[in-house]
Amino acid sequence: MKQIGIFLIALCMLLSTGVMAQTQDSTIAIPNPSFEQWSTGNGYSVTVLIFPLQVFSSYTYPTGWDYPTYPVNESITYSGINVNVNTNLPLLKVSNETSDAPDGSHALKLQSFMLSDIISSTVYGLASSSLDPMLTTTVFPTVLSTGIVDIDQLMPMLYDITANLGSLSQMLAAFSGTDINTIIDGGIALDGAVPDRLTGHYKYTSAMSGDNGGILMLGTKYNTATHRREVVGGGYTTAMTDTNAYTPFEIFYSPLSEVNPSYQYVEADSLILFLFSSANTSPQQGSALYLDDLQLWAQQPTIPEDTCSAIFNLTANNVDTTHATINWTYEGTPDHFEVEYGIQGFAQGSGTTIDVSSNSLSLSGLQPDTYYDVYVRSVCSSTLMGNWAMVTLHTDTLVPPVIPEPDTCSAVFNLHVIDVDTMAATIGWSFEGEPDHFNAEYGMQGFSLGSGVTVGVTESFLHLSDLQPDTYYDVYVRCVCDSDILGEWAMVSFHTDTLVPPVIPEDSTGIADFDNNRLQIYPNPAHGQCVVRFEQEIPQVIRLYTVSGVLCQEINPNKELIELTLPAPGIFILSCEMKEGTVTRRIVNW
């Protein structure tokens, strides 16, 4: 749970003040911009003997916005009885304001909170004595976003992000080379529009002077060369300080190339918004940010003289297995439009071309489960054309799968990754018929069939271990019905997690740290267990302490690699006595 606080505080540290003014004409749709729609989340309770014990009650949140949750699986001893609490704890404190709203009849209020504010006083009283004191004394900012944050994936990046604060350029550069989809899932589809600014109204009430609210924008784009969704621009403000009246604000979007000339200009295709009740490193319990009337404005294309307008807002709609509708907007008065389409990656000039007089086209006769590229441009005369705009679509898969004829073996389908971490992965699949067993072959991405590691399995899943961290793998699976009757190969790719060495702070237990290259611990943060590898020598003895100096374990290792079981969630200090001194490491256990 302590990592949740680090995550929320580190994101708040990414923000700094920036407010400007400009006028625009068109907007980009964002979810529930005036917070008129609200949804209800379920509460959670447990039963002790026959008595219900509420952990937290039902709560409301603005529809279309996401919030962090913390998975709780704890055993609480109540009057000698062990009670298991297994739920996702919503980390937010928001309310639906129905008075003094600048737009409509509702506004949003976000408040910074402590753990005791969001769980029942009874459960808090029972559990607080066994919780990390850092958890019970930490104030968390409420964070809402247009995408779902994966806290486990963001945690290894926090050290890099917090080391590059101070400006929009440094903040965006901290995400360089990162696949943002592994951290944040979702966002606002831009559909060819170029974001210019976010506007709205806010009020702010700090619990004590000095606190302030903030908003962060991240523009992203899928890179076909690296196969990653990358951050290509953004904007932010922390200028939301104490004011009792709703005040207009504006936050401008800047491409990464504009704030750092060493980067190439890339146009974002998706935008992520974060709203923070406290946007500094010391949030205050009860500080409140009020928001309403959010609007995301798009840049308007400029039409030079003697040129033909470019196409923008190009989208694919109503896509099914064999059809799709293409729509777009434009400026000026072109004579007509030229459309060319084909299977993804086709060379322009080799596709199917169509001339249309309106800004909409229905495509038919497409292949199911296939990616298509569609290009559109304005035609103003026989010698004057606009620039091409392109959108990619994917037709639906035919369902159900085709069942093979007798004397053939069914193909594997729905091949998917169930779970993956730094050195292991679990793969699952579906099948038809009654195959005898399955053949699987795997290796690093791009390996040739026949050169990988082969495995025979009888169940419709496969667990792989001893993989390399931070590596792409391909896995092929097929049905085996007889020695000479085999199904078609199916393939799936996955990427193992990056092995991130922990950052060891100055040790509060007094255990000396003289050498940072004598051992490795992974994974860290851990999930109950971790592996300790000794690089230069095997220590005479290793001891595991709590952060308060209580000894938990003492081990005399006799090999270079040991598996360490951690007694409980929290932060521990590992002390290793070497010939020349003592090496220490911090271990975070979820």
Residues forming a β-bridge with 151: none
Element (H, E) at 161: helix 158-162
For the entire predicted model, the pTM comes to 0.51
pLDDT value, residue 312: 81
Contact 566, 588 (CB under 8 A): no
Burial class (CB in 10 A: 0-12, 13-18, 19+), 307: middle
Distance CA 471, CA 144 (A): 32
41: tokens are 């989340």
413-495 has CATH 2.60.200.20 classification: no
99: tokens are 């008075």
pLDDT value, residue 75: 76
Write down the number of H helices and E strands in the chain. Answer: 8, 42
pLDDT value, residue 159: 47
Contact 378, 413 (CB under 8 A): no
312-394 has CATH 3.40.50.1780 classification: no
Topology given in CATH for the domain delimited by 2-298: Jelly Rolls (2.60.120)
pLDDT value, residue 503: 43
Distance CA 213, CA 110 (A): 9
The series of mean pLDDT values per 10 residues for the chain, 590 residues long, is 51 43 68 94 82 85 90 73 82 91 94 90 78 79 85 56 55 70 82 92 90 88 85 86 93 86 85 87 89 92 67 90 92 90 93 93 94 94 88 84 64 84 85 88 91 90 87 91 86 78 42 60 86 88 83 90 87 86 84
pLDDT value, residue 55: 83
Contact 253, 30 (CB under 8 A): no
pLDDT value, residue 208: 82
Domain pair 312-394 / 413-495, same fold: yes
Q: Could you report how far apart the first and last alpha carbons of the chain are, in Å?
A: 7
112: tokens are 């910074």
96-110: per-residue pLDDT in tens?
A: 999 889 999 999 999
Topology given in CATH for the domain delimited by 519-589: Immunoglobulin-like (2.60.40)
470-495: per-residue pLDDT in tens?
A: 888 999 999 998 878 888 888 888 88
Burial class (CB in 10 A: 0-12, 13-18, 19+), 256: buried
Burial class (CB in 10 A: 0-12, 13-18, 19+), 358: exposed
pLDDT value, residue 199: 95
* Interacting residues of 405 by C-beta distance below 8 A, sequence separation 6+: none
pLDDT value, residue 155: 53
Domain positions in the chain are 2-298, 312-394, 413-495, 519-589
pLDDT value, residue 84: 81
Determine the longest span between alpha carbons in the chain, in angstroms: 87
As a three-state string, the secondary structure of 534-578 is ECCCCCCEEEEEECCCCEEEEECCCCCEEEEECCCCEEEEEEEEC
Task: Show the CA angle centred on residue 233, arms to residues 227 and 238, nearest 5°.
Answer: 135
